[in-house]
Amino acid sequence: MNSALLRPALILGAVGIFSKVIQVLAGLLLAYRFGANTGTDAYLLAKSAPIGLYLIVDSLVYNAFLPFYQHERRARTNVLIVAGWMLLAGALAGSALFATAPWIVALLGQGASLESRAGAAELLRWMAIAVLFFFPASVLKAVNAAQQRYVLAALDGLVIGATLAAALLLAAQGTDYRPLAIALPVSGGLLLAVQAIFARADLRVWPGSLSIPGGRQLLGASAPLLGVNSLQQFLALFMVAAAGYLGSGALSCMNFSYSLIQIPVGVVDLILMSAWFPLAAAMVHNGDRSRLLHSLERTAAILLRATVPLALWLVLMRVELIRAVLQYGAFDGVAAERTAHVIVGHALALPGWLLEALACRCLFAQQRHSAYLAVMVLRCITLPLLCLLLIPGFDLLGISLAFAASTTLGAAFAFWLIHGRAESRIALSRWLHASWRIALPTLALACAHFLWRLGAPHAPALPAAMLLPIHAFASLALLILCYRLTERIAPGNRP
């Protein structure tokens, strides 16, 4: 790997893993103390609106303001003004969420019960305060990332997860969700304070005017990104609304499954966003398209060789995984079984999910925001249609299967947009020729798991918490052995 990419990738990967672990631990505490029920559904329904709004703004600022900050010296005198304007925008957005909480909950939770809607509206009013802090914090996060303070790029998930975990420990088990709602604005205030401390040198500069030099250019770059980010959150909110029609606890089960799969997805996406994306942007700036495509294909090959076997392992070990991780306290066997079904679709989405993230970073680097917008439009069309087709036959699993199919289609379309029609055929032929490198280790893993299942009834019974790591390490050792064998058989045959 390029030395310019290795250091930030290692730092971001380590911090990202720690951040995701904290968030998963908070999710485990939520499952243990509250379970999957109407109250947890209401909490998650309320949380989806402010978090979705924050993710729109955070991605917008990171992909629009960060390049502007890096390439325009005058932007360094505008950090205080931009953060101030974002603070005002956060205040307006938070006030709008507070005032319209019952209507937002009614729109997102049409399939939920009246009791769940009332509880969600009350919780949403508390969570709306967090938007006031999240908006300016996203600007300061971009500034710190531009200054190569890589740890701060993953700080938001860590702070939100740690604050939620503390609130869960303080809340009355199974009854009081209010401390969980208050934890979100508290985490927003902490995040803003920490980011401001490290970006204080830029905040001390007063440009003497409330206007932003180059503001029109910044707004021009932000407009297509705003559309892309809004469509992304539309997809997330659509799945939340669809789960509301599938009974009490459905949204909770889907959320717990999504949280588990977010560990590999979140870490890799963080590395792509903060390490690979600047490298790709530099290649585009230098006009080195062939090197960009080579780096894209090599990175995609690494992702596929890691995620395809991982997806299969998650599908094969889904029951043991949920039992070992979630089935404690208030999280009963029915909820565990339902979550184990949902994780099948999320696991199948893993390769396409990460390939789409990689391809879209490449489109961002080329400043082809409209192309990425086309990818999201395709996904916004396919996901609802697939949900309508799959939910009647597969219940909650239908939502995650529709998500997996839409991400795979989105990834394929994004790569087609990058390569063009002629180059796409050549690249596809090269990938098919080298696909055995992925298929052989994956097939070996499936066969080994089948043999283990045959011998399991005759072996000593082990608890799921002990069996899972043993199976994971054995599977990893088998995959490493198979990949080494493929390298010896055909060292030059690579995608």
Question: Is residue 277, in this structure, part of any structural domain at all?
Answer: no
Angle between helices 277-285 and 289-316 (to 10 degrees): 160
Q: Identify whether the C-beta of residue 56 lies closer than 8 Å to the C-beta of residue 225.
A: no
Separation CA 130–CA 20 (nearest Å): 20
* Domain presence at residue 450: no
Query: pLDDT per residue over 472-482, tens digit each?
Result: 888 888 888 88
Residue with tokens 């440009």: 207
In a domain, residue 383? The reply is no
Q: Summarize the confidence of residues 145-159 as an average pLDDT.
A: 76
CA distance 282 to 365: 8
What band does 110 get if pLDDT is binned at 50, 70 and 90? Answer: confident
Q: According to the model, what pLDDT value does residue 462 have?
A: 65
What integer pLDDT is reported at residue 210 of this predicted model? Answer: 47
Q: DSSP labels for 107-140?
A: HHTTTS-HHHHHHHHHHHHHHTTHHHHHHHHHHH
Q: Whole-angstrom Cα distance, residue 54 to residue 66? A: 17
pLDDT in tens, 208-259: 554 555 556 666 666 777 778 888 889 998 999 899 888 888 999 999 999 8
Q: What does the chain come to in residues?
A: 495
Residue 205: pLDDT band (50, 70, 90) is: low
What DSSP letter does each residue of 370-419 carry, written as one string?
HHHHHHHHHHHHHHHHHHHHHHHHHTHHHHHHHHHHHHHHHHHHHHHHHH
Helix (H) or strand (E) segment spanning residue 467: helix 464-489
Q: What's residue 382's pLDDT? A: 95
Q: Does residue 106 lie in a domain region?
A: yes
Distance (Å, rounded) from C-alpha 289 to C-alpha 109?
46
Share of the chain above pLDDT 70, in %: 82
Say if 96 falls within a structural domain.
yes
In degrees rounded to 5, what are phi and psi of residue 274? Answer: -100, -15
Q: Residue 74 CB: number of other CB atoms within 10 A?
A: 11
Residue type, 144: N
Q: Is residue 338 part of a domain?
A: no
| Lowest-confidence region among 50-54, 300-304, 350-354, 425-429 | 425-429
51 is a domain residue: yes
Predicted pLDDT at 495: 47
Among 122-126, 162-166, 317-321, 425-429, the minimum mean pLDDT is found in 425-429
Crossing angle between the packed helical segments 333-365 and 369-394, to the nearest 10 degrees: 160
Whole-number percent of the chain with pLDDT over 90: 24
- Which residue, among 41, 35, 40, 28, has the nearest Cα to 243 in the 3D structure? 41
Mean pLDDT of 380-409: 94
Is residue 66 a part of any domain in this protein?
yes
Predicted pLDDT of residue 13: 63
Total structural domains in the chain?
Answer: 1
How far apart (Å, rounded) are the C-alpha atoms in residues 244 and 238? Answer: 10
What single DSSP character describes residue 90? H
For residue 141, what pLDDT is reported? Answer: 84
Structure token pair of residue 101:
């909480």
For the residues 64-75, what does the mean pLDDT come to? 61
Rounded CA Rg of the chain = 23
Q: Tell me how far apart the alpha carbons of residues 242 and 246 are, in angstroms, rounded to a whole number.
A: 7
Instruction: Read off the pLDDT of residues 441-492 as tens digits, 9 standing for 90 and up.
Output: 888 888 988 888 887 666 666 676 677 788 788 888 888 888 888 777 755 5
Q: Is the pLDDT of residue 73 over 80?
A: no
Summarize the confidence of residues 202-209 as an average pLDDT. 58
Residue 70: count other Cβ atoms within 10 Å of its Cβ: 16
Give me the mean pLDDT over the 388-402 stretch. Answer: 94
Q: Is the pLDDT of residue 493 over 50?
A: no
What pTM, to 2 d.p., does this model score?
A: 0.85
Per-residue pLDDT band for 79 (boundaries 50, 70, 90) equals confident
Whether 350 and 261 have beta carbons less than 8 Å apart is answered as yes
Tokens in use for 223? 């407009």
- Report the C-alpha gap between 338 and 397 in whole angstroms: 8
In this prediction, residue 125 has a pLDDT band, given cuts at 50, 70 and 90, of very high
- Alpha-carbon span 452 to 467, nearest angstrom: 12
Kindly provide the b/e burial profile for residues 375-401, where b requires at least 16 CB atoms within 10 angstroms of the residue's own CB: bbebbbebbbebbeebbeebebbbbbb
Give the range of the structural domain holding residue 110, as residue numbers without chain letter: 38-221
SS (H, E, C) 321-369: HHHHHCCCCCCCHHHHHHHHHHHHHHHHHHHHHHHHHHHHHHHHHCCCH
